[in-house]
Structure 1
């Protein structure tokens, strides 16, 4: 940083205005890295301010400047629940477990925001179905609710649901296709048998064998070939019927 971009001391009466000033300095100098911003502002804090953010200073996260800024804005005396909610507006569940999101919210809230406020805002960040299940458990302690929410999150992950749904749908389609193929094979087999010469002869023989004692019974040859039959099997009524027809 150049002398023209001198960093002003932290201004307790209005931390939000001070951070706006810092953002302007960082933008002018082209500083975008969170750790660089963090290391730049730390020397501007007095000891009593550092005590409020001691855990962030000792154990910085991957976004230490943002954590520091959020904590100090939360500690602003005139900050209300709406202001805290605005600070957490970017905090969504995403791929994190609900308990991890709760832990982050607690860290940002520090000791100045009531646990019930953090709990309420945390619940609002969860899916509606998860909220309904948690309310039905009867638990009031936020840590117990977070444990239950983790289990729901594990079961209700979109990728898991998608995989189960896809597999179930695929199995159903394969089962229906198998049934259709089996039906087609059976139908073709029946058709082939009905078209075979042996089946035709079998049906013909079954007809001429029926009721051989009938006076009008015809042998297989006359039943099959009529007047072109070259053989005859008694007691066949073909000759008698032919003679009666001629005489009449």
Structure 2
């Protein structure tokens, strides 16, 4: 009698595989988030399949983080083991993160947007006070840029970085170019027009302060209460010193050369002596 019982044929299924983007050593946390999103999109839930996909995306120098235990069929959480090993390598202590933020990140030749991105990468998933982070970002920008940005209260930090790059680009130009650009953008972008006007005022202030520094400063007044009633003379005599041009006979000091005393004697007035 023949055996008519059904035969069970076992077919070994091939695990699903996908090709992940190359591993990002400097931003492992974000890379794993993207990798796991790809796993979910393609329905890959098997740990071994996930492990092999990650291994194929790793640079050769990272092969030392793959252990024989992870490759063993007996291990059910091989992907999680490799992930934890790679994240430990990139883990920074709070002190290391602060040192990186305060000392090692500078604007340099990069854009403000790029600098902000790098600062966010260093902070990672850690909790960091937003106000402190904002202030730290501003302090890494040139003083001229900070002067404009501090007035933009309530603006998200990403938009501050974009505005900072615009200011940095504009400040490379001369004042006439800024004036010209203001006229061109007045009907197109009111915000940019306001920004240009602020920069023009800043340039004028800098120019005025520089020219003031070149001029000899007038001597500071002494005993200002006693002289506050004296009105400065509107006409200046080139042969008199600043004190006599300002206070006339009431001047308590005199700076040579000054012939006010000679003129006063010839006129029969009391001359103001040097004290």
* Bin for the TM-score computed over the shorter chain: 0.3 to 0.5
| Larger helix percent | 1
TM-score (norm 2): 0.32
| TM-score after normalising by structure 1 | 0.35
Quick check: which has more Rg, 1 or 2? Answer: 1
